[in-house]
């Protein structure tokens, strides 16, 4: 690959990244960072494994399916990065788990029981 091709490729990547950023911030409510922070304060551990590592706030019904639920607190669940992908999205961010809250609760109960034995 010659230098101009590399340069064009890098420019292309930069374009992709910035386009994603613009789409994201244009669609997202400006109140989301506040609602997210409040949710993390009241739910400070992963609701599946109970750790407080790499926490993310997941939308049970995805923002793309129902934007009106973006700030709905009953639509939010705290998950660590690993469990976000596994429980929230069945291993792929193209999918989502409508029963993530029940599954996370079940897993947590099982995990606690194993740890006590």
**Site residues (vs Zn ion, CB under 5 A):** 46, 48-49, 58, 80, 83, 88
Minimum distance from CB of 28 to Zn ion (Å)? 14
Q: 70 vs 83, which CB is nearer to Zn ion? A: 83
Minimum CB–partner distance for residue 85 and Zn ion (Å): 8
Q: For residue 116, how many other CB atoms are within 10 A of its CB?
A: 6
Nearer to Zn ion, 4 or 94 (CB): 94
Distances (CA, A) of 44 to 59, 61, 86, 101: 16, 21, 19, 15
Q: How far is the CB of 37 from Zn ion (least distance, A)?
A: 17
Give the pair of three-digit tokens for residue 106.
Answer: 């079940």
Which run of H or E residues covers position 80? strand 76-80
Residue 116: CB minimum distance to Zn ion, A: 19
> Of the two residues 34 and 65, which places its CB atom closer to Zn ion in the complex?
65
Cβ-contact 90, 81 below 8 angstroms:
no
Instruction: Give the residue with the Cβ less far from Zn ion, 8 or 44.
Output: 44
For 95, phi then psi, to 5°, come to -110, 165
């Amino acid at each position: 690959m010659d230098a101009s091709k590399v340069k064009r490729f890098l420019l292309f990547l930069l374009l992709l990244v910035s386009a994603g950023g613009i789409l994201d911030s244009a669609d997202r409510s400006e109140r989301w960072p506040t609602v997210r922070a409040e949710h993390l304060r009241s739910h400070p551990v992963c609701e599946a494994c109970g750790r407080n590592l790499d926490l993310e706030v997941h939308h049970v019904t995805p923002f793309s399916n129902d934007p009106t639920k973006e700030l709905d607190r009953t639509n939010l669940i705290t998950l660590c990065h690993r469990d976000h992908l596994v429980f929230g999205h069945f291993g792929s961010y193209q999918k989502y788990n409508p029963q993530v809250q029940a599954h996370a609760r079940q897993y947590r109960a099982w995990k606690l029981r194993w740890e006590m034995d």
